[in-house]
A and B are shown apart, each in its own frame.
Chain A
Amino acid sequence: MSASSRILGASGRKTLSRAVQYFLLTLMSIYILVPIVILIFGSLKTRGQMYSHPYTPPIPPYWDNYIKILTSSIFWTMLKNSLIVTLAVTVAVLVICSLAAFVFARLDFRGKDLAFNFFTLGLMFPITIAILPVYLVIRQMSLTNSLLGIILVQTAFQLSGNILILRNFFASVPLELQDAAYIDGCTPFDFFRLILLPLARPALSAVASLTMVVSWNDLLVPLVLIDKETLWTLPLGTMQFQGQYGTDLALVAAFVSLSAVPAVIFYILAERHIVSGLTAGALKG
């Protein structure tokens, strides 16, 4: 089809290399899929089956593990906490980052470079390193054991990277558009609200998707800030559940599978945005 395939020509050699390619890709796929499949198999067994035949297909499937978890309130409470945190963080990151990115991409003021460098400094100071200093501040603010504490911390540590991505996107919008808007009597805020944000929808959904993945999967911040069981998020709760019911491996497998479901649904819905977000960030970075 393309010139390269015509030049490589010898179709025998081509088929052979294709075969090798597919062989290696299949091996990698097995590496990826085996842990997932084994987990799902395990979740559909009784405790006894899990001990006697841990990695065979569950025939017939035993659904009681799932029923047990879905009818207890603990799973739903964690799901609710995770949803609250992730949605709040995502909205906050979108609003705060697009405001700041607009200023850095489109307005001039004294000390702009300094301010920008200051904000992107956060990239070098991730939450894993900052967790103890941040915990001390949260404790001084009496925000331990509250979802608000998690939301504030996660938001603060997601700002730098996302301001960078959005600034690059805003900067790529043609200047003529801004001039035309100002001539028509727009204020900078009108331009931002009426023209830039609608144009930036792909970048905004990419930022939103990435923020959601990070916030949803975060273990460290809730682990440090939350003691109360009723405020556990899904990753924290899953870890605690595994510690508590570690001997009932089938039940743990079901719990882990269920806690992965929201992420998988989200992945199916947002794959396009996640991929474009990562690549937008990467190619500019």
Chain B
Amino acid sequence: MGVSMNRNGEGALPFRSTARSQHTLTVVLFLLPTFVLFIVFVVYPVLQSFYYSMFNWKGFGPAVDFVGLDNFKRILTDKAFMKAVGNTLNIVVLSLFIQLPLSLGLALMVGRDLPGKRFFRTIFFVPYVFSEVITAIMWMGLFNPDPDRGLINALIVLMGGKPQPWLGSPQMVMGCIFVVLTWKYFGFHMLLYMAGLQNIPREIEEAALIDGCSTGQMISYVTLPLLWGTIRTSIYLSVLGALQQFGLIWVMTKGGPVNASEVMSTYMYRYSFIRFWLGYGSAVAIVILLISLAFSIAYLRLVRQQDYLGGVS
């Protein structure tokens, strides 16, 4: 029996099995580099952090001083950490309610056929290619509190006002940082919206106008709903970007004055790499990771669902 089966399959079977094993080999080999990098630099580090987060560990020798969940307790009762979370949320909210509408408005304005469109797009997008270090140093000069040095205070004095401390003031520092963040990133979002607009067939909008819509009605009932996919992406990128903010703030203020501009990433950096409390830093990393995950889940729940409903109606 076995022999005859062998003979029957002689032509086809070896061929098919080499094709199949070649297929498997392709899948394995092609995914291998991604898989290795992922395990080594994403999965393993996170798991290891869970372990270290339960120790009081300064990074020398093995971690032996087991403290259980004390690090987490300490993080959640630390006012500076709460301030950092609050500031991060502020950046998220300001980005969503000021930066994105500004970008969207400008994109609608430049629209598809304003003469000089390319020129404005090029200028608005330039800050995106500058590093955050360059951006920060540029703006630190402008915000210099001495009116003889800083352009902004010089202009205020020129118009008869009083010079302000800007980055040196706990009340103003986040506002200043937000101005710089907007400077760097609004062009990026505007570009996304312009590309989204490019994909909306002009005939639909023209039909609305022929049917007697005003331009305002056309934008709110036709253009914006059609642009929802792009708006959704822009929201996601904006929130993700706000959660990750580090370089700009670190160079401009190092989180100061007195924690006034601390965000989650600067807080983690301070405890991990300035004080070298690596156990505590690991716990902070895990808390931030959970907060980001919560954001992602909220995004999926709220935004995707709405998108689905929008698609149905």
Chain A interface residues toward B at CB < 8 A: 1-4, 7-8, 18, 21-22, 24-25, 28-29, 31-36, 38-39, 42, 51, 54-55, 95-97, 99-100, 102-103, 107, 109, 115, 118-119, 121-126, 128-137, 152-153, 155-157, 159, 163, 187-189, 213, 216-220, 224, 234-236, 238-239, 242, 249, 252-253, 256, 259-260, 263-264, 266-267, 271, 274-275, 278-279, 282-283, 285
Checking A42, A109, A278 against B195 with a beta-carbon cut-off of 8 angstroms, the contacting residue is A278
Residues on A with beta carbons closer than 8 Å to the beta carbon of B296: 124
A32-B183, A134-B45, A264-B129 are contacts. A238–B141 as well, Cβ < 8 Å?
no
B232 and chain A: residue at smallest CB distance: A285
> How distant is A264 from chain B, measured CB to nearest CB, in Å?
7
Stretch at the interface among B5-13, B29-37, B67-75, B76-84: B29-37
For the complex, what is the distance from the CA of A232 to the CA of B289, rounded to whole Å? 28
Residues on A with beta carbons closer than 8 Å to the beta carbon of B273: 132, 135, 224
Residues on A with beta carbons closer than 8 Å to the beta carbon of B269: 131, 220
A131-B269, A220-B247 are contacts. A4–B206 as well, Cβ < 8 Å?
yes
Contact between A156 and B134, CB atoms less than 8 A apart: no
Contact between A282 and B134, CB atoms less than 8 A apart: no
Residues on B with beta carbons closer than 8 Å to the beta carbon of A32: 123-124, 126-127, 183, 187
A216-B131, A235-B247 are contacts. A38–B141 as well, Cβ < 8 Å?
yes
Checking B26, B34, B132, B278 against A188 with a beta-carbon cut-off of 8 angstroms, the contacting residue is B26
Contact between B141 and A24, CB atoms less than 8 A apart: no
For the complex, what is the distance from the CA of A238 to the CA of B129, rounded to whole Å? 16
Contact between A4 and B209, CB atoms less than 8 A apart: yes
Contact between B141 and A156, CB atoms less than 8 A apart: no
The majority secondary structure among interface residues of chain A is helix
Stretch at the interface among B93-101, B105-113, B161-169, B170-178: B105-113
Looking at B37, B42, B130, the one whose CB has the most chain A CB atoms below 10 A away is: B42
Interface string of B45-71 (1 = CB under 8 A from A): 110110010000000000000000000
> How distant is A228 from chain B, measured CB to nearest CB, in Å?
16
> How distant is B207 from chain A, measured CB to nearest CB, in Å?
9
For the complex, what is the distance from the CA of A219 to the CA of B41, rounded to whole Å? 18
Residues on A with beta carbons closer than 8 Å to the beta carbon of B149: 51, 54, 249
Contact between B268 and A242, CB atoms less than 8 A apart: no
Residues on B with beta carbons closer than 8 Å to the beta carbon of A7: 206, 209-210
Contact between B109 and A271, CB atoms less than 8 A apart: no
A55-B154, A213-B129, A224-B273 are contacts. A3–B38 as well, Cβ < 8 Å?
no
> How distant is A54 from chain B, measured CB to nearest CB, in Å?
5
Contact between B278 and A234, CB atoms less than 8 A apart: no
Residues on A with beta carbons closer than 8 Å to the beta carbon of B234: 282
Q: Is B16 an interface residue (CB 8 A)?
A: no
Residues on A with beta carbons closer than 8 Å to the beta carbon of B289: 125, 129-130
A38-B142, A129-B265 are contacts. A137–B48 as well, Cβ < 8 Å?
yes
Contact between A278 and B141, CB atoms less than 8 A apart: no
Contact between A137 and B41, CB atoms less than 8 A apart: yes
Checking A18, A131, A238 against B137 with a beta-carbon cut-off of 8 angstroms, the contacting residue is A238
For the complex, what is the distance from the CA of A32 to the CA of B133, rounded to whole Å? 16
A103 and chain B: residue at smallest CB distance: B30
Contact between A96 and B33, CB atoms less than 8 A apart: yes
For the complex, what is the distance from the CA of A236 to the CA of B131, rounded to whole Å? 10
B115 and chain A: residue at smallest CB distance: A18
Contact between B233 and A256, CB atoms less than 8 A apart: no
A54-B148, A130-B285 are contacts. A256–B41 as well, Cβ < 8 Å?
no
Looking at A36, A123, A224, the one whose CB has the most chain B CB atoms below 10 A away is: A36
Q: Is B191 an interface residue (CB 8 A)?
A: yes
Contact between B139 and A35, CB atoms less than 8 A apart: yes
A100-B34, A242-B137 are contacts. A283–B195 as well, Cβ < 8 Å?
yes
B114 and chain A: residue at smallest CB distance: A21
> How distant is B244 from chain A, measured CB to nearest CB, in Å?
4
Contact between A29 and B195, CB atoms less than 8 A apart: no
> How distant is B91 from chain A, measured CB to nearest CB, in Å?
13
Contact between B137 and A256, CB atoms less than 8 A apart: yes
Contact between A256 and B288, CB atoms less than 8 A apart: no
A275 and chain B: residue at smallest CB distance: B191
Q: Which positions 278-294 of chain B face chain A at CB distance < 8 Å? A: 278, 281-282, 284-285, 288-289, 292-293
For the complex, what is the distance from the CA of A97 to the CA of B38, rounded to whole Å? 12
A129-B292, A267-B129 are contacts. A115–B31 as well, Cβ < 8 Å?
yes
A-B pairs with beta carbons under 8 Å apart, 25 shown:
A2-B202, A4-B205, A28-B106, A32-B187, A35-B141, A39-B137, A55-B154, A99-B34, A119-B34, A131-B268, A132-B278, A132-B281, A133-B46, A133-B285, A134-B41, A135-B273, A137-B48, A217-B129, A219-B247, A220-B269, A238-B134, A256-B138, A267-B125, A279-B191, A285-B233
For the complex, what is the distance from the CA of A168 to the CA of B154, rounded to whole Å? 51
Residues on A with beta carbons closer than 8 Å to the beta carbon of B233: 282-283, 285
Q: Is B305 an interface residue (CB 8 A)?
A: no
Contact between B124 and A28, CB atoms less than 8 A apart: yes
Contact between A125 and B42, CB atoms less than 8 A apart: yes
> How distant is A274 from chain B, measured CB to nearest CB, in Å?
8
A29-B123, A129-B265, A282-B233 are contacts. A263–B109 as well, Cβ < 8 Å?
no
Contact between A107 and B138, CB atoms less than 8 A apart: no
> How distant is A12 from chain B, measured CB to nearest CB, in Å?
15
Contact between A283 and B196, CB atoms less than 8 A apart: yes
Contact between A217 and B37, CB atoms less than 8 A apart: no
Contact between A25 and B154, CB atoms less than 8 A apart: no
Residues on A with beta carbons closer than 8 Å to the beta carbon of B229: 283
